[in-house]
Amino acid sequence: MDFKNILLFDSLSKLVGTFIIFFTAVIFIYSLGFIKSKKLEYYFWFFLTSIVSLGVVFSANLIYIVIFWGFLGMSLFKLVNLYSYTDKDIARAAKKSFIIVGGSDGFLLFGFLIYSYITASTLVAGNIILINTPLSLLSFIFIAIGCFAKAGCMPFHIWVPEVAEKASIPVVAYLPASLDKLLGIYLLARIVKDFFVLNDIAKIILLVAGGLTVICAVMMALIQHNAKKLLGYHAVSQVGYMVLGISCGSPLGLAAGLFHMVNNAIYKSCLFLNIGNVEKSSGTVELEKLGGLGKFMPITFLTTLIASLSISGIPPLNGFISKWMVYQGLIDFMNSAGSLTLKFTIALSLVFALIGSGLTLASFLKLNAGIFLGNPEKEVKEAGKLLLFTPVILSLLCLIFGIFAYSTILKFIQKSAGSFVEIGLWQPQLATYLIIAGLVLGLIIFSIMKKKVRTSASFIGGEELLPTEEVKIGDFYNAIKEMPLLKNIYKFAEEKIFDIYELLKKFAFIIIRFLRYLHNGILSTYLVWCLIGAIGLFFYLFK
Amino acid sequence: MKALFNYLIFPGFIFSLVIGGMGWWLERKFTARFQYRVGPPWYQTFLDILKLFLKETIIPGGASKILFILSPLLTFSAVLMFNLMLTENYFLDKSFVGDILVMLYLLIIPSLFIILGASSSRNPLALVGASRETKLMLSYEFIFIISLVIIIIKSNGNLMLADILNNQINRGMYLKSASGTIGFILALFYIQAKLGIVPFDAAEAEQEIMSGTAIEYSGPLLGFYRIAKTLLYFSLPLFVIALFGQIAINNPLHKYSAFVIEYVLILLLISVIKNINPRLRIKEILGFFWFFLFPLGILGIILAIKGL
C-alpha cells in the first residue's frame, strides 16, 4: 500500500504536529489539577481533539482534512458545552462557536471542491496553481474563510472572546488559544506554500484582514473589565500578525507567521492558565474586584508578567522576535511591490501592526496592575504545584525562544518555510548580556553609594493613606473610550453592529418573518397563493 | 577590554551622561532666559543626580518591593543599551545589537517600567500618574512609529542605522524632502512628550499630582530615573538627527560640529514649545496626537511612497 497519498510528513506538518503533542501534554497536566467534575467526558473529548488535530496536520488528502476538520468543530462544541448546566451563557457561547466554525467548514469544503476541480486531484502537496481566474480566487477565499474562522481572524472572530469568557480555563487554553491557532494558521500557511501562487488581490485581502484584526481587536481588548474576555480579544488580535506574515508570500514572511503562531500559542495559553489560577484562588476575574494578589501569588505574578511582556513584544522575549520578523517580511514585501496601492496597503498594515503592539502593552499593563498590584481585598492562596507547573514551563519557553531563538526553534522553522535572509539585525544574546550588565552596573552604583534603606507609610497631603482613596485600575482607558469618533465606534461595537453572527441572525429572522407571513395557516390564503401561481404558470407556458 | 571601555566610557555611559547633562542644562538655561532669569550653572544636572545618590532610600509600606526597586534599575539598563546601540552606530560606524525597529521597541521599556514601578507603589497619585503615562505612551509612540515608517520607505526598506546614515550622506538628508519634514515634526513632538516636557508633562505634573509616577521614589532609586532621563536627553535628539538630518560630509570634525549645531537647535525648539504652551489635559493631548499628527503622518507616508 502506498502511504504517500494518505500521510504527509514534511517539515511543516512535523513542526505543527510537534507543538500539538506538546500542548496536549502540558495542558493535560494542568487539567489534572483543575478539572474536578465530568472527568471522563472531558478527557474523552480532550484526547479526541488532539487525535483529530494530528489527523488534519498529517493527512495528504483534502477529503481527510475536511473530515478531521469537521470533528474539531464538534469537539470544540462539546468541550465548551460541558459545564453548561452551571450557566446558560455557556450554552449560548458554545452554540455560537459551533455555528461560526461549522458554517465556515462548509466554505472550506466548497473551496477544496473548486480547487480539486481545477487541479483534478485531491492531494495536499504537489499542485501549485496561479490565482488567475475568478474561480481560483473564489477557491482561495473560501479556504481562507475556513482558516480565518478556525484561527479567529476578523470578521469570523466573534466566537473567540465569548468562548474565552464563558468556557472553563483548560478548554480555552487548549482550543482557541493554542490548537485552533496552530491548525488555522497551519492550513493557511499550507495553501500559501503548496496550493496557490498569490496574486495582488489575494495578498491585499490577507493584508487588510490581518491589519484590521490587529488593530480592531486590540482596541476592544483595551476597554474590557473581565480578564478572560480581555485575553480573548488578544487571542484574536495576535492572529492578525500571523496573517500579515503569511500574506507576504515570501519565505521570510512565512517563517515569521509560523514563528508567531508558535509563540502566540505559548504565551497565550500561559496567560489563560494563570488567569485560571487567579480565578481558582480568588473566585473572580473582574479587574475591579481584584488587586494586590502579587504578594500572595508570586509565581503566578512572575509568569504572567513574563508572558505579558512577551505578547507585548518587549525585547528580548520571544514575542518580540517573531513580530520583528513579521515587520521585516512586510518591509521586504513593500520594497518589491509594484503598484502604489499595494505599497500603501502594506505601509498602512505595517503601521497598524506596530501600533497594535503598543496598544497590547497598554492593555496588559492594565491587566497586571489590576490583578497583581494595588491594594489586596482579602488574603488568597497560591495555586497548587500541578497548576503552576505548566505556566512555569511555558514562561521559560518564552525566555528560551526569545534569547536563544536562532540556535533553537528558528532552525526548524527555516526548514519548513524555506531559507530566507533577514534584512534587519537583532542579537538577542548580546542584548541580554547588555541588559544584565546594565543591571549589575546599577547595583554597583547603588551599593557604592549605599545609604540607609527604610520602609515608611505613604502619605498624601500629610495624611496617611486610606484604602478608600485607591484609584481603580480598570478605568485606565475610559478617556480613550470617550474620545470623539472612537466613542461612536465603541457604541456600535457594543450594539454588536460588527458581529457577523448577529448580522446573520437578523438576516435569517427577516427571511423567517417573510415565510411566517406566507404560512399563516388560513386555507383561503393558501388558495389565493395557489391561484396566483397557476396564473403565473399559465402565462409562462402560453405566452 | 575595549568593549568594556566602549560600554562604560566612550561612547557609552560616561560620555552620554556628560553630553546629556549638558543638553538638559542647556534646555534649562534657554527656559531661564525666556523668563528673564540667569539660570543654573553648567554642572547643575550632575549635582542634582549626585545629591540623590547621597540620600537614603525610602520604600513605601505595602509596595511590591522587588518590582519597586527593579523598575528604575531596568529603566536605566535599557536606556543605557539603547544609547550604546545608537552611539556605536554614529561615532564608531558599527552596526550593533539591533536595527531601528529594535531601537523603537527598546524605547518603550523605560515608559513600561515607569508605569509598573508607579503602580507597584500603591499610592493613588502614582496610579493617576501611571494611568496618564499609559495614555501618553499610546499617543507619542504612535506618531514616532509613523515617522519611522516614513524613514523606512525613504531608505528603500533599509533598517540598519548605518545604512540610513550613508544613504543620507550620498543623497542628501531626508529632512529636505516634504515627507521627511513631516516625519521630523512628528519626531520632534515625540521627543517633547517622551521626555515629559511641558505641554506634555501631565504624567508628572508637579503642582497637580506631585510628580505623579515618581511621587514615592526617593534617593538613589529616583537617581536612576534621573540618569536614564539625562541619557535620553542626549540619545533621543541624536536618534532624530541620525534619522533625518545627517549632513553630507565625511570629514569627522565637520560631522561632529554639524551634530552639535543641530543638537542645540533641537533643544532650542523644544524649549520654545515648552515656554509658549501651558500643560495640556490628557484628552487634549490624545486629540492632538491622534486627530492632528496622525493624519499628518499618513499624509507623510503617502508622500514618501510617491517619492517626495
B164: Cβ contacts below 8 Å, ≥ 6 apart: B100, B151, B155, B158, B242, B243, B246
Q: What pLDDT, on a 0 to 100 scale, did the predictor assign at position A1?
A: 52
Q: Does A341 lie at the interface with B, CB-CB under 8 angstroms?
A: no
**Cell output for A182:** 496552530
Q: Which residues of chain A have pLDDT under 50?
A: none
Q: What pLDDT, on a 0 to 100 scale, did the predictor assign at position A536?
A: 93
What backbone phi and psi angles, to 5 degrees, belong to B59?
-105, 125
Q: What pLDDT, on a 0 to 100 scale, did the predictor assign at position A286?
A: 81
Q: What pLDDT, on a 0 to 100 scale, did the predictor assign at position A40?
A: 86
Cα distance between residue A76 and residue A42, in whole Å: 11
- Round the CA-based radius of gyration of chain B to a whole number and report it: 19
Q: What pLDDT, on a 0 to 100 scale, did the predictor assign at position A363?
A: 87
- Residue B98, strand partner residues: A426
- Round the CA-based radius of gyration of chain A to a whole number and report it: 26
Q: What pLDDT, on a 0 to 100 scale, did the predictor assign at position A378?
A: 76
Q: Which stretches of A223-339 are DSSP H helices?
A: 227-247, 251-282, 298-311, 318-336
Q: What pLDDT, on a 0 to 100 scale, did the predictor assign at position A531?
A: 92
A439–B73 C-beta distance less than 8 A: yes
> How far away is chain B from the Cα of A361, in angstroms, using its nearest Cα?
8
Q: What pLDDT, on a 0 to 100 scale, did the predictor assign at position A447?
A: 79
Residue A372 buriedness (CB in 10 A; 0-12 / 13-18 / 19+):
buried
> How far away is chain A from the Cα of B34, in angstroms, using its nearest Cα?
32
Is residue A244 within 8 Å of A213, Cβ to Cβ? no
B282–A331 C-beta distance less than 8 A: no
**Cell output for A149:** 474562522
B140: Cβ contacts below 8 Å, ≥ 6 apart: B189, B190, B193, B194, B200, B289
* Rounded percentage of chain B residues whose pLDDT exceeds 90: 12
Residue to mutate among B46, B76, B81, with most A CBs inside 10 A, is B81
A456–B61 C-beta distance less than 8 A: yes
Q: Does A315 lie at the interface with B, CB-CB under 8 angstroms?
A: yes
Query: What is the pTM (predicted TM-score) of this model?
Result: 0.89
DSSP B64-78: -HHHHHHHHHHHHHH
| Chain B CB contacts of A449 below 8 Å | 53-54, 220
What was the ipTM of the complex prediction? 0.90
At B228-253, the pLDDT tens digits run 999 999 999 999 988 888 877 767 78
- Mean pLDDT for B286-298 is 89
> How far away is chain B from the Cα of A401, in angstroms, using its nearest Cα?
17
Q: Does A444 lie at the interface with B, CB-CB under 8 angstroms?
A: no
Cα A170 to its chain centre, rounded Å, is: 15
- Count the Cβ atoms, other than its own, within 10 Å of residue A383: 23
A355–B145 C-beta distance less than 8 A: yes
| Chain A CB contacts of B119 below 8 Å | 365, 369, 373-374, 473
B217: Cβ contacts below 8 Å, ≥ 6 apart: B72, B117, B121, B225
> How far away is chain A from the Cα of B91, in angstroms, using its nearest Cα?
18
> How far away is chain B from the Cα of A20, in angstroms, using its nearest Cα?
31
Residue A543 buriedness (CB in 10 A; 0-12 / 13-18 / 19+):
exposed
**Cell output for A459:** 502619605
- Each domain of chain A, given as residue ranges in start order, spans 3-419, 500-542
At B150-183, the pLDDT tens digits run 998 888 888 888 888 888 888 878 888 888 899 9
B301–A348 C-beta distance less than 8 A: yes
Which of B53, B286, B301 lies nearest to residue A347, judging by beta carbons? B301
A315–B57 C-beta distance less than 8 A: no
The interface residues of chain A toward chain B in range 458-497, judged by CB-CB distance below 8 A, are 458, 460, 465, 469-471, 473, 475-477, 479-480, 482-485
A465–B123 C-beta distance less than 8 A: yes
Q: What pLDDT, on a 0 to 100 scale, did the predictor assign at position B68?
A: 84
Coil/strand/helix, residue A18? helix
At B101-111, the pLDDT tens digits run 888 888 888 88
Looking from the CA of A18 toward its CB, the CA atoms found within 13 Å total 11
Q: What pLDDT, on a 0 to 100 scale, did the predictor assign at position B190?
A: 92
Q: What pLDDT, on a 0 to 100 scale, did the predictor assign at position A466?
A: 62
Q: What pLDDT, on a 0 to 100 scale, did the predictor assign at position B134?
A: 85
> How far away is chain B from the Cα of A40, in angstroms, using its nearest Cα?
42
pLDDT at B281 over 70: yes
Coil/strand/helix, residue B121? coil
> How far away is chain A from the Cα of B187, in angstroms, using its nearest Cα?
15
Q: Does A354 lie at the interface with B, CB-CB under 8 angstroms?
A: yes
Is residue A243 within 8 Å of A283, Cβ to Cβ? no
Nearest CA-CA partner of B135 in B290, B301, B7, B305:
B290
Cα distance between residue A340 and residue A16, in whole Å: 36
Q: What pLDDT, on a 0 to 100 scale, did the predictor assign at position A451?
A: 67
pLDDT at B216 over 80: no
Which of A358, A425, A469 lies nearest to residue B95, judging by beta carbons? A425
Cα distance between residue A268 and residue A518, in whole Å: 50
Q: What pLDDT, on a 0 to 100 scale, did the predictor assign at position A333?
A: 87
At A171-217, the pLDDT tens digits run 888 888 888 888 889 988 888 888 888 888 888 888 998 998 898 88
- Mean pLDDT for B32-48 is 89
The interface residues of chain A toward chain B in range 44-73, judged by CB-CB distance below 8 A, are none
B97–A438 C-beta distance less than 8 A: no
At B186-210, the pLDDT tens digits run 999 999 988 888 888 877 767 667 7
A16: Cβ contacts below 8 Å, ≥ 6 apart: A57, A182, A183, A186
- For A70, A73, A164, A503, A524, the CA distances from A76, given in Å and listed in that order, are 10, 5, 12, 23, 48
- Mean pLDDT for B78-96 is 85
Q: What pLDDT, on a 0 to 100 scale, did the predictor assign at position A178?
A: 85
Query: How many interchain CB pairs under 8 A, A with B?
Result: 232
At B12-39, the pLDDT tens digits run 788 888 989 999 999 989 899 988 998 8
